[in-house]
Amino acid sequence: MKTANKILAGSMAAAMAFSMVGCGSTASSTASSAAPADAATATSEAAPAGDAITVWTLSNDLKQFAEQYTAKTGTKVDVVVYDSADYVSKVTPSLGGKTTDVDVFVGEPQMMPNFYEAGFCADLSELADEANEKLVPYVVQAGTDTDGVLRSLSYQATPGSVIYRRDLATEVFGTDDPDEIGKKFASFDEIAKTADELKAKGYSIFGDTGSLRWFSTSTNPWVKDGEVIIDDARKAYFDTAVKIYQNGEVANCLEWSAPWYNSMAGALPIIGADDDVWSMDADSLKEQVASGAATTQVFSYVMPSWGALIVRDNAGDNKGKFGVCSGVTSFFGGGTFLAVNEYSKHKETAVDFIKFCTLNEETSQWWLEASEGDVVSMKSVLDANKDYENASFGNQKTYAFYSAEADKIDYSLITGYDDAIKDAYGAAIVSVQKGQATKEDAMKTFYETVKATYPELTVPEA
């Protein structure tokens, strides 16, 4: 197996966790219109129908794009939606077998380099100049292979943020201003201080210390010149995660658990560090709060832009009480990237479909509205909606915020080793948090794990 294939094999499974949330959320607010709401009606004269094409995807988003494309061009687009857990196992063997049954397929950015190296993705260089002009930079970089050839594009941008409770911010810090609250998350040391301040008022800074993982790529890539880099920022990440956990400054509600979702709507019963959150259900949690159980409230969530939609849709009476701000570093996660099957018999139509989905301004504006909150990758559309005030986030101009965050993403820090190394580092942190290992022993295990997985890498300690 080639090195890059080995690097990304583990990360594909991890990427699946984001697929359904990162590729199609609904929202309750609609952005201001800067272009026709229906891309299909924006063309006065439909072009002649092309060859019918088939699209393999992870979510229902592209069904809507296909309907728009067919209405505009007359070309039939069959969209096959795979369950996220089955996607890689279904798609990879078919593409490896040079199937002609699919013309366009998708992947998240963690998957795409593996697809590039395997030769699955056709050359999209004809779209490169337009993509560089129109799309946020990191999206084009993520769609480009190691030889500088454009292989995929996305209609989404998924920059990160800290999503915080404005009402609690005002109570504890005397302000809910995003710039001021951003200072509270500007470094791991500041996060530790912020956690102390929140605990003093009975609140938890995060649901779980896993929130910090998004900031683990800050000043250096995880791997540089074949060496694993554990710099001061990563050491601070480790120490801060252990501190806030052992000080009881997180709510012990793991992401995607019922308590985690419940926490967005208000008070949460105190959960023990060893309690099984996966056996808990929303109704019993609400009953405990109503019966007078000791409670906490979660102050913030660190997630890509699609996470803001999850918070909003689970906020209940807290809807409108959230804001978004920056943190230790800008980051991204998830997103649907479209590629043309190298062995497609309908490449011209397949390329045209991708162009329609990703490089058409009217389509981009339509999707921003139709999705009710997705952050699109087209810069002009984000700019056209920069003054939109999002009622779900205290009338904050969220498109302007996420556009600025997307521009700050440094894609040169991303490597194919990242997901597996982050997982191993996170496991080391958890072992120390729970008192299962000393930091020295945990780091030794971390280095051994990385070396066993990637023998070609040099680690600080073998």
String of DSSP letters for 28-83: S--PPPSS-S-GGGG-SSPPPP---EEEEESSTHHHHHHHHHHHHH---EEEEEPP
Report the alpha-carbon distance of residue 209 to residue 249 in Å, rounded.
9
pLDDT of residue 45: 39
Classified as helix, coil or strand, 197 is helix
Nearest to 116 by CA among 342, 358, 353: 342
pLDDT of residue 84: 86
The Cβ of residue 81 has, within 10 Å, a number of other Cβ atoms equal to: 15
Question: Residue 90's Cα: distance from chain center in Å?
Answer: 23
Classified as helix, coil or strand, 203 is coil
Question: In whole angstroms, how far apart are CA 448 and each of 8, 22, 123, 242, 425?
Answer: 19, 33, 39, 21, 11
Report the alpha-carbon distance of residue 81 to residue 64 in Å, rounded.
12
Report the alpha-carbon distance of residue 334 to residue 332 in Å, rounded.
7
pLDDT of residue 370: 94
Interacting residues of 88 by C-beta distance below 8 A, sequence separation 6+? 12, 13, 16, 111
Pairing, β 300-304 against β 160-165: antiparallel
Classified as helix, coil or strand, 329 is coil
Contact 106, 57 (CB under 8 A): yes
- Residues 3-158+333-385, CATH architecture: 3-Layer(aba) Sandwich (3.40)
- Where do the CATH 3.40.190.10 domains begin and end in the chain? 3-158+333-385, 160-331+390-462
Nearest to 88 by CA among 65, 115, 63, 61: 115
What pTM was computed for the model? Answer: 0.88
pLDDT along the chain (462 residues), means of 10: 40 40 38 35 44 94 97 96 90 96 95 93 98 97 96 98 98 98 98 98 98 92 95 96 98 97 97 96 96 97 96 96 97 96 97 98 97 96 97 96 96 90 97 97 96 94 58
Report the alpha-carbon distance of residue 433 to residue 244 in Å, rounded.
9
Report the alpha-carbon distance of residue 363 to residue 43 in Å, rounded.
11
Pairing, β 322-325 against β 160-165: antiparallel
Q: CATH number for 160-331+390-462: choose from 3.40.50.150, 3.90.1150.10, 3.40.190.10, 3.50.50.60.
A: 3.40.190.10
Contact 155, 382 (CB under 8 A): no
Supply 47's token pair. 């072009």
